[in-house]
Structure 1
């Protein structure tokens, strides 16, 4: 049963929010079937009820700014989810960074923490080979992770995101995995040839995403009286 908690965001802002996230998802030119299925579900059932994904277009920075005029708190929370989507897979691409920078400027926000993200930009020449295991102590958030210290400002900024809308809370619960995924060995003829580490070792902001997911679950359960068992 859906909650009747009043949203602090207008329908126009929610649609602009979704278009902004779609713009981030399309930034690198790839929109996998799995991503499209998830976005379609969120469009029809969660963020903008009854909206057809085929009728949605990428949003320009100016359009985004118009939608959030007079509500800097909503604009900043949108930017937090945009960053979350951009780094969720552990890769922050140049294309994603450019769009987020454009959104940041158009919204008229002054967020120094975003500068720290530039240190995580994807450089294919510096990415370890898949055959190389990432050290066991390179967990996200530990001092041995290359970006752990420089990313402290953006971690604190993400931790301040308000969870006060049931649609966005459901979006977060669905897009952030409940467990650290994807660790596996690929074997050929019984011998390991590749070890793919878990996402928590690839993504230095993984703990912030998990914390945001927990706050979203708590909000839906405690404030909206929703059954959150399907997200666990």
Structure 2
């Protein structure tokens, strides 16, 4: 079934948006399985746009020019950029610095992002304290009594509006319907152990799944698209 819903963003905006996410995925220099799947999907989606010949990083100023001056568009891009940055469960300094550059170029300040800074993964802190910092948890010297350091950024991510079918499809493709690592261990026909979904260890897991659900609902209810391929 073909969608007749008008896209909120132009091809140029979507191309710049996806290139921005690609730039974030490569910011820390790692190529984890999560980034591998993400980049593969970005490559496929960008190949369908006439505005760009191939996948390549984008400079903050170029991104800002392409996205335009609408603050809602800028915030929605930053929300997806955050989800890409923490997809592997680690928020690194290069990712933080790139998001900061994007904010400056887009001329927008997101107060909620300051809470994410408290989880910044710093290898030098590990050496000084002789203890490994856990992904998306604050280093020892930054401990806080606040019960949920990420509460502001969680609320901010939950405010994202899904208004473009191409970006909605991208979200549905990249975020799996269930964690591939969750499984039962069976012996002689009986379940003897259960391995939990490792992605649930990511404190922003609910934001991932909620965004995927909203994207599915948007495609089905507003775009009248068949979403069966995304829920298998």
Superposition RMSD on alpha carbons, in Å? 2.6
Matched, 1:96 2:95: yes
- Seen in structure 2, the aligned counterparts of structure 1 residues 177 and 197 have a Cα distance that, compared at 3 Å, is closer
1:19 Cα deviation after fit: 1.2
Say how many residue pairs are matched.
203
Whether 1:116 aligns to 2:115 is yes
Contact 1:4 1:224 in 2 (8 A): yes
Deviation at 1:123, TM superposition (A): 3.7
Deviation for aligned residue 1:179: 1.3
Partner of 1:134: none
* Pair 1:206–1:38, CA change in 2 (3 A): same
Note the C-alpha offset of 1:117.
0.7
Structure 2, gaps ≥5 residues long: 127-131, 136-144, 185-194
> Per the alignment, in what secondary structure is the counterpart of residue 148 of structure 2?
coil
SS where residue 91 of structure 1 aligns? coil
Q: Does the aligned pair in 2 maintain the 1:88–1:206 contact within 8 Å?
A: no
Deviation at residue 169 of structure 1 after TM alignment: 0.3
How far apart in 2 are the matches of 1:148 and 1:171?
Answer: 33
Shift of 1:198: 0.8
Deviations 1:117-160 (A, max 9, x none): 1122224533359xxxxxxxxxxxxxxxx986111110010001
TM-score (norm 1): 0.78
C-alpha separation in 1, matches of 2:29 and 2:119? 20
**Correspondence for 2:40:** 37
| Counterpart secondary structure, 2:64 | helix
- Aligned with 1:80: secondary structure? helix
How many Å separate the matches in 2 of 1:151 and 1:96?
17
The 5-angstrom pairing of residues 202-221 of structure 1 reads 203-221=202-220
Please give the alpha-carbon distance, in whole angstroms, between the structure 2 residues aligned to 1:60 and 1:172: 23
Relative to structure 2, which stretch is displaced further, 9-18 or 29-38? 29-38
Q: Could you tell me how far 1:96 is from its partner in structure 2?
A: 0.9
1:174 match: 173
- Distance in 2 (CA, whole Å) between partners of 1:208 and 1:147 is 20
Distance 2:210 2:15 in 1: 25
TM-score by length of 2: 0.78
- Match status 1:63 vs 2:69: no
Which stretches in structure 1 are left out of the alignment for 5+ residues?
130-145, 186-194
Matched, 1:14 2:20: no
